[in-house]
Structure 1
Amino acid sequence: MIAALLLPLAACTAGDKPETASAPDISLETMKDVTRTLASDDFEGRAPGSAGEEKTLAYLVEQFQAAGLQPGNDGSWFQDVPLVEINAKNVSPLTFTGGSEDLSLEYGPDMVVSTYRVTPRIDIENSDVVFVGYGINAPERGWNDYEGVDVTGKTVIILVNDPDWETQGLDGTFNGRAMTYYGRWTYKYEEAARQGAAAAIIVHQTEPAAYGWNVVQSSWSGPQQVADAENGHMDQSKADGWIQLEYAKKLFAGAGLNFDELAQAAKQPGFEAVPLEGVQASVSFDNEIRKHSSKNVIGILPGSERPDEYVLYTAHWDHLGHCEAAPDGDDICNGAVDNATGVASLVALAQANKEAGPAARSQVFLAVTAEESGLLGSAYYGDNPVFPLSQTVGGVNIDALVPMGPSRNVTVVGKGKSELDSYLEEALAAQGRVASAEPTPEKGYYYRSDHFSFAKHGVPMIYFEGGEDLVEGGEEAGAAAAQDYTDNRYHGPKDEYSEDWDWSGIMENEALYYRVGRALAETDAWPNWVEGDEFRAIRDESRAEAE
């Protein structure tokens, strides 16, 4: 039996503290059954728009109903999310000519390339090449890598992460070691398009990217999903992609430049973009285009006292479908950890909350689509909320629960950003555990899961996962286990369910998800972002309008 539900004092969240409540058991069997089922080969990796999606949606409705949820979207379990699937075919080598040595990079092992443009053909021929450092234009930080250079119609070469990602500590122009949104590949492509670049190519480096080339190859090859848009995304660059580091060094050397020296120079304020004189890039490919609607799945437990105030539990149901095959020929990216575990949590937490009886506020269980394609399902909900965001109290995002055994801590992604931290800390106290900041803030996890889509609209969401200070083996064992998952299973065919998993740590954290969510649903407080946080003003405005 999970210990008593501890609710935070109102020190930082004005409102009456609700009575302490007991929590029901959270079903380990449900966690296992849902994870095992969704991660099976029968679901083909749960790609949006595939037969695997159809099976996933049917299964989730079945599980949500059995858990006692009601349809959350005006009598429907679904919210349609308009998407376009773009599948690059007949991809030519990415060639660089005009240097001392011509380069021809093969699609897959050497480079990946795709497009956001909804068009049947992409042709880039003899596009001048410019190195734009980190590809950042941040006037509020006094930084513009595009200043003084016109990259219209050109191919820009970009470094991943922020200029100060190697800093030890969190002080610096771009928050030191902690990645900002300027470090994310999504931003870099967005900014390159705003600057008029024909192609934006990021140089892959494992540490600042936070994953190896195997992840790039599996994630950026095959069908890609983009949000449907009236303009067909024709305002985006023709092509976006990545190249391996060794080829970037050869490319620069062929232009008489030293990659390592320029990469260091790009870390300094005042860096100026460097044309690769005489070097031109070419690439072409066809696109198979299919418009379709994927679906978010929404269930609700109506509140007993304030049913028009909402608490969210979110997790993404999608994964990569068929992907780059492993050496044994397995080409299904099953996504057992990422994120069958999170969806299983939604079902198990719904069961537990139903058993506990109605909370004062309504509880919404939202399984979103297309997270792996750039948070598209949660972004669509944020732009088209089923329940008013001004009336959404906050919530818990659950993504990729790695079975590492019990830990003395949990890792909070974005620790210190919102008053939700106090809810978690009270729940942790019951377990004799603590909250820790991310050990690897340079990996930018805050911008890599669905809580970010709600934060951008001002809704406080907390995202935490099992910590790396394991009861058995300490921080060294925890870091090794996390790295093993990243290196050998993350976004690959071997992220598969195993009957040998140790669920004890995950279930310990399930109690925390329950306590935090239930506390939010019972209190009448409206937790906010801390003073000075980037999302505080948005929240203040939405709450002022609601009141």
Structure 2
Amino acid sequence: MHSHYRTLLPALCLTLAGATTTVAAADAPQLSLDTMKSLTKELSSDAFEGRAPGTIGEEKTLALLEKEFSAAGIKPGNNGSWFQDVPLVEITAENVSPLVIKGAEQELSYQYGPQMVLYSDRVTPRTEVKDSEMVFVGYGIHAPERDWNDYADVDVTGKTVVILVNDPDYETEGLEGPFNGRAMTYYGRWSYKFEEAARQGAAAALIVHDTEPAAYGWNVVESSNTGPQHVADAEHGHMDQTLANGWLQYEVAEEVLAAAGQDLAALSAAAKKPGFKAVELGLKASVSFDNKIEKQLSKNVVGILPGSDRPDEYVLYTAHWDHLGRCGADETGDDICNGAIDNATGTAALVALAQAHVAAGPAKRSIVFLAVTAEESGLLGSESYAANPVYPLENTVGGVNMDAFSMTGLAKDVVVVGKGKSELDAYLERAVEKAGREVKAEPTPEKGFYYRSDHFSLAKRGVPMLYFKGGMDLVNGGVEAGMAAAKDYGENRYHAPKDEYDPNWDWGGTMADLRLYYRIARDLANSEEWPNWVEGDEFRAVRDESRAGK
């Protein structure tokens, strides 16, 4: 699970309770508990050193997956190879100057880390923003299908844009509004805001941090955006991006806007309404830093079970094989972040599912098993596959993503992240109903979890993707036990050395969830349907365009 969000995990990532339950198999294939246990244990052993890309841990993981996929009976998925190259670039900002902002009468200066963070996605040794005019662009959204354009009637070429976090209607109680009310859309994500600023020609983009709409504190912003950052390697070196992206502390943004004779609260209120016009601030921003650049080559693993009737139509399973590698040592001196739950469980699941699908015989459509790298660095492995797909995205029917299985025992419910976005929900509903469980929407849609795991790289290019997890309402202990287990994992294990294999885990919930993953993909692979995004979803237009004429 992506490292920018370590404080959010208890809301969704459920693990480790002592409950044991018996599970009634509903329409279940033979999914191997032994495979799940042995591979989760091996992948998260100290010998794999936390499975960081570009390390001995990667080499061991790739070798293990090649062996296990081959033994399961699926085929190498990339033109006879099990692997797809994922070239990465590690960029570390060094010698970062203060951010200096000049007005007509005063000069303000802010320190890197506690007051602002900045980095560059451009693969260049030096970044310099000099006397760049500043413009407040509200939420920084250009959404023609929603008749919303914060960049209307303003030219921000070479300028520094100041942007609010989340969507204009994030404070709405329900899910109705121009941007789905309380539920975050892609337009609310920081990644979208930086991408749009680049499309508009901005020199730099600064997001105003605010804990509630960001859904994490400044500590997460600072730890995630300082130190090494990773981007996919590209021929153009990402020179089409802004010179610099970053965040401002809320109080800093207040002070900057006050220097421009503006009030942040008043401008924020105005920016929530349709027809908001960007405001030229009459200020100039300057900042500079060096970039330490290191190139790495990592790999995705791709396997396929060819379809019997329509082998050129594809159903995807995705899970990330990587974790953090060596990390901050705990009180015992252990400095390996083993990533047992996150995501040795999902990686093992790819193998267990491959075994089950092979045993059942080919489905009508092909089923692809994709173990991606560099999720923890910003979904870079899935992004690399989606940008350079082995199988055409317009022929990819849809898929499911698996990231961190529950070890709390069986839950009565299943939590869908991004419920109501696509017609794939119907496949999940049918599978869950057969299993005698209940589908629930995620409790915190405003936090935008749908945009934070590997399925998103495919979704934003139009491929319908489903993402769900075992729920909170445990058969043994109810919601209280589920919440306690999630809190324990989030505080004590998530992205820490204690995310280790435990022989006392209760696998009942994991195996029940695994049966759902099997059934959904199997039904989709035997269907003739092409599920789409619902009308009005932000990914619908790109899917309609890619499928036009099919």
Map Cα deviations across residues 65-123 of structure 1 (whole Å, 9 max, x no partner): 3433321112210112333332223333434455867343233x443321111111112
Map Cα deviations across residues 368-397 of structure 1 (whole Å, 9 max, x no partner): 223344433323323333233344332211
What pairs with 1:43-122 in structure 2 (closer than 5 Å)? 43-96=48-101, 98=103, 102-107=108-113, 109-122=114-127
Whichever residue aligns with residue 25 of structure 1, its letter is L
Task: Note closer, same or farther for the CA distance 1:206–1:61 as it changes in structure 2 (3 Å cut).
Answer: farther
Unaligned runs of 5+ residues in structure 1 are 7-21
Query: C-alpha separation between the residues in 2 aligned to 1:51 and 1:205?
Result: 39
Unaligned runs of 5+ residues in structure 2 are 1-21
Counterpart position of 1:172:
177
Task: Note closer, same or farther for the CA distance 1:485–1:454 as it changes in structure 2 (3 Å cut).
Answer: same
**Which is further off, 264-273 or 34-43?**
34-43
What pairs with 1:302-321 in structure 2 (closer than 5 Å)? 302-321=306-325
Name the SS of the counterpart of 1:102 in structure 2: strand
Query: C-alpha separation between the residues in 2 aligned to 1:3 and 1:538?
Result: 41
**Which is further off, 169-178 or 282-291?**
282-291
Aligned residues: 527
What pairs with 1:147-226 in structure 2 (closer than 5 Å)? 147-226=152-231
CA contact (8 A) 2:432 2:439 kept: yes
Residue of structure 1 aligned with 2:368, choices 364, 371, 375: 364
The offset of 1:503, in angstroms, is 3.4
Map Cα deviations across residues 490-522 of structure 1 (whole Å, 9 max, x no partner): 5x4357225154433222211111111222233
**Which is further off, 442-451 or 263-272?**
263-272
Query: C-alpha separation between the residues in 2 aligned to 1:303 and 1:371?
Result: 28
Task: Note closer, same or farther for the CA distance 1:161–1:292 as it changes in structure 2 (3 Å cut).
Answer: same
Query: C-alpha separation between the residues in 1 aligned to 2:99 and 2:328?
Result: 19
Name the SS of the counterpart of 1:186 in structure 2: helix
Query: C-alpha separation between the residues in 2 aligned to 1:87 and 1:52?
Result: 22
Whichever residue aligns with residue 179 of structure 1, its letter is M
Name the SS of the counterpart of 2:432 in structure 1: helix
Query: C-alpha separation between the residues in 2 aligned to 1:483 and 1:160?
Result: 26
What is the percent sequence identity of the aligned residues?
A: 67
Name the SS of the counterpart of 2:236 in structure 1: coil
Map Cα deviations across residues 441-475 of structure 1 (whole Å, 9 max, x no partner): 11222222222333344433221112233335544
Residue of structure 1 aligned with 2:150, choices 133, 145, 151: 145
CA contact (8 A) 1:199 1:238 kept: yes
Query: C-alpha separation between the residues in 1 aligned to 2:56 and 2:250?
Result: 37
Whichever residue aligns with residue 102 of structure 1, its letter is L
Counterpart position of 2:30:
24
Counterpart position of 2:274:
269
CA contact (8 A) 2:98 2:109 kept: no
Task: Note closer, same or farther for the CA distance 1:106–1:511 as it changes in structure 2 (3 Å cut).
Answer: same
Counterpart position of 1:290:
294
Residue of structure 2 aligned with 1:496, choices 475, 499, 516: 499
Name the SS of the counterpart of 2:35 in structure 1: helix
Whichever residue aligns with residue 345 of structure 2, its letter is T
Query: C-alpha separation between the residues in 2 aligned to 1:112 and 1:41?
Result: 34
Map Cα deviations across residues 117-158 of structure 1 (whole Å, 9 max, x no partner): 111111223434333221112233233323344433333222
CA contact (8 A) 1:219 1:320 kept: no
Query: C-alpha separation between the residues in 1 aligned to 2:446 and 2:225?
Result: 21
Counterpart position of 2:341:
337
Task: Note closer, same or farther for the CA distance 1:95–1:317 as it changes in structure 2 (3 Å cut).
Answer: farther
Query: C-alpha separation between the residues in 1 aligned to 2:97 and 2:87?
Result: 30
Counterpart position of 2:401:
397
Whichever residue aligns with residue 499 of structure 2, its letter is E
Map Cα deviations across residues 283-303 of structure 1 (whole Å, 9 max, x no partner): 322222233432210112233
Counterpart position of 2:9:
none
Residue of structure 2 aligned with 1:353, choices 353, 357, 376: 357
Counterpart position of 1:15:
none
Name the SS of the counterpart of 1:364 in structure 2: strand
CA contact (8 A) 2:97 2:287 kept: yes
Query: C-alpha separation between the residues in 2 aligned to 1:405 and 1:101?
Result: 58
Query: C-alpha separation between the residues in 2 aligned to 1:272 and 1:393?
Result: 40
Name the SS of the counterpart of 2:366 in structure 1: strand
Task: Note closer, same or farther for the CA distance 1:162–1:494 as it changes in structure 2 (3 Å cut).
Answer: farther
The offset of 1:428, in angstroms, is 0.9
Query: C-alpha separation between the residues in 1 aligned to 2:43 and 2:541?
Result: 39
Map Cα deviations across residues 17-75 of structure 1 (whole Å, 9 max, x no partner): xxxxx511331x43333334434454444343344433332232233234333211122
CA contact (8 A) 2:117 2:247 kept: yes
Counterpart position of 1:515:
519
Query: C-alpha separation between the residues in 2 aligned to 1:542 and 1:128?
Result: 39
Counterpart position of 1:11:
none
Query: C-alpha separation between the residues in 2 aligned to 1:209 and 1:310?
Result: 36
Whichever residue aligns with residue 114 of structure 1, its letter is Y
Residue of structure 2 aligned with 1:410, choices 403, 411, 414: 414
The offset of 1:433, in angstroms, is 1.0
**Which is further off, 92-101 or 441-450?**
92-101
Whichever residue aligns with residue 287 of structure 2, its letter is V
**Which is further off, 433-442 or 403-412?**
403-412
**Which is further off, 354-363 or 248-257?**
248-257
CA contact (8 A) 1:2 1:25 kept: no
The offset of 1:487, in angstroms, is 6.0
CA contact (8 A) 2:132 2:160 kept: yes
**Which is further off, 525-534 or 109-118?**
525-534
Query: C-alpha separation between the residues in 1 aligned to 2:96 and 2:475?
Result: 49
Residue of structure 1 aligned with 2:386, choices 378, 382, 386: 382
